[in-house]
Amino acid sequence: MKIIKTVGVAGAGTMGAALAQKFAMEGFDVIMLDTDIDFVKRGLQRIKDTLDEGIEKKIFTPEKADKILSQIHGSANISDLTRADLVIEAIFENFDAKAELFRKLDLVLSKETIIATNTSSFSVSELAKNISSPERFIGVHYFYHAAKNRLVEIIPGEHTSAETYKSMEVFSVQSGKDSITCKDAYGFVVNRFFVPWLNEAVRLLEERIATAGEIDAVCMKTLSIGMGPFALMNATGVSVAYHAEKTLEHYGKLYEAANSLKLQADKRENWKIDDADLTAICAETKKVIDDRLLGVIFYVCSELLEEKVCSPVEINRGARIGLAWRKGPIDLMKKFGESEVRKLICMIAEKYAAKIPDTIGREYWELELVSLSKKDDTAVITISRPEDMNALNKTVVNQLEEKFDLVNSDPAIKTIFITGSGKAFVAGADIKFFIDNIKSNSIDKIVKFTEYCQNVYNKIDNSSKNVVAVLNGLTLGGGLELALCADVILALPGAVLAYPETGIGIYPGLGGTQRTQNKIGKELTKYLVFTGDMLNAQDAKKIGLVDKIINITEMFEMFEGSKPVPASIKEQVLDDRYLSIQNFFAHYVFGISEYGVENESNAKLYDKLIGRINYKAPLAVKTAEKLINDSKGCSSELEHLNYIFSSEDALLGLSSIGKKVEYKGK
């Protein structure tokens, strides 16, 4: 596996500049190339403008922005790319221009350098024919705006080596991206269904079914999105949509570019979008718009599954992360049900004389949200639901148990890693599940689910294997409780750990009040549970919650078995602040203002802690305090679930996440 430190970006336009910015933001040394130094200067100015906007919004400090800029080196000399470990082509979407660039790169780059194309539509294998060693060539399709959008499609070509693919998979994590992998097929995953959706919207306009504004309004409502198809085309370029559709035309009549789309692209004008009142659109028109546009999405996604271009989870992830759809196509198909989905697909197939795909039905819509890989004596279980911050629900816990049972019973496996994908390890439980069951007076379902989760966690805790949790990002509530079942807890530098439960009206119910004190003691457990304070990786290491902080490269080396796993370090190196916090909670009793402190110089800190606790739900804090003090084991947490989830505070807190609330203690 090649470790990438320096990235070359060939092309300083909108996409190239955004990529250069993103890679520099993630700490890479970047060389941004274009054919003319003036183009390079424009690209650098684009980056500076974006960073200045970030400073205004307080996303960056001026010092951070300066550091990002200092890591980007502009050039018009192709030879400057020779020191890059990876070169990504990001020029305009013209096959001949890309092919010519790759021939030039092949002459100057080392045979060890990975070459990637950011094409959104052309065959990766066809483009690879322009270099002498196609095994080092791969497709990586980034989405606009590449400095902000986390999605990247990884497309191995016919001759791409396993090592090149693995290097790019690791690089996607290093560069802060969520990747989906697909076969080298025109349109890949997202454009394959997204662009025909845009095209079908234009056909509806052509047929005078509705106005552009009406079509946008209906789509925004149905898909819960912020922009409809016409507004999206105006934002990203009407000609971009047209040329993307043209590359798909060989798939058949359904994919033929609408005449109005061609005319609009030729005019180089945006669509005129009227103000439309959704409530004024008649039900029949809404139904036609929904049926046609959903039908196209369902048809194309079923084709993707039939052709094995990708898995259903990658279709969903592509839409939810790349396009910011609240529900992905697979979610929508599940929601509408097999009968309605088949009806809509058949309608589209008949309209465009297309074959009905065989992959219609729930058995084709199963989402793998927990993945497993094995190498020699090592297994890696990855909770892979980044579009939902890896939140726990029944499906996730079922799949976690299934994957863990497989490797736990395998005598060849000695070490089991558990980690997450994206920005989170596990950012807690699926809150909607709690709210729905409280409102329907089905708290028994919450108790049952919690008990099931505890049983799964107990399996992990009691395993004879060496279980290692690698915290890659947000580790909240149930995620931190899962990590504490491991023998060793490792964290990437950006990991954040917290128990937010008492701030939303409940308490940690998956062992948080018990396993935490076994790791760091009762006093600091009370601190974490009562205040909900978020710890960075460094502070978590300081108090003994994390055994070691590692970088991404070390993480993958451990997964590969080329780097040893550190042992658990059962020690705390508490600084004065944490010693004071420990002292405070040794004396503090909830609800009693006289908390007895020996050192008056800590009065400000102690007042601040009390202020934090007073914002929490009192019933939740009081219950957590009892559980921690009694130390009767994880199952004791189940005894108070009915009480806490029946409280008004619980429903208020769970329904008001992100808002300040005033709890009544009821």
Half-sphere exposure of 386 (CA within 13 A, CB side): 26
Structure tokens at 614: 């007073």
Residue 358 burial class via C-beta count within 10 angstroms: exposed 0-12, middle 13-18, buried 19 and up: exposed
Active site residue 625: no
Backbone φ and ψ of 427, nearest 5° = -95, 45
Active site residue 120: yes
- CA distance readout (Å), 222 to 219, 253, 442, 523, 624: 5, 26, 29, 50, 42
Structure tokens at 415: 């070490």
**Nearest CA among 456, 455, 469, 454 for reference residue 510:** 454
Cβ pair 428, 184 in contact under 8 A: no
From 89, 153, 245, 303, the catalytic residue:
153
Active site residue 153: yes
Q: State the residue for tokens 């040794």.
A: 586
**Nearest CA among 612, 637, 662, 659 for reference residue 507:** 637
What whole-number distance in Å separates Cα of residue 94 and Cα of residue 121? 10
From 191, 239, 311, 384, the catalytic residue:
191
429 DSSP assignment: B
From 141, 199, 214, 647, the catalytic residue:
141
**Nearest CA among 479, 581, 599, 475 for reference residue 530:** 581
Contact partners, residue 281, CB within 8 Å, separation at least 6:
210, 214, 217, 218
**Nearest CA among 91, 135, 136 for reference residue 113:** 136
**Nearest CA among 3, 423, 499, 418 for reference residue 178:** 423
DSSP letter string, 188-247: TTHHHHHHHHHHHHHHHHHTTSS-HHHHHHHHHHHHT-SS-HHHHHHHH-HHHHHHHHHH
- CA distance readout (Å), 231 to 60, 227, 272, 288, 390: 29, 6, 9, 20, 31
Contact partners, residue 52, CB within 8 Å, separation at least 6:
65
Active site residue 172: no
From 118, 120, 123, 199, the catalytic residue:
120
SS3 category, 565: coil
Structure tokens at 318: 């592509």
- CA distance readout (Å), 183 to 101, 188, 308, 310, 321: 23, 7, 8, 7, 19
**Nearest CA among 345, 276, 274 for reference residue 304:** 345
- Give me the active site residues, please: 120, 141, 153, 191
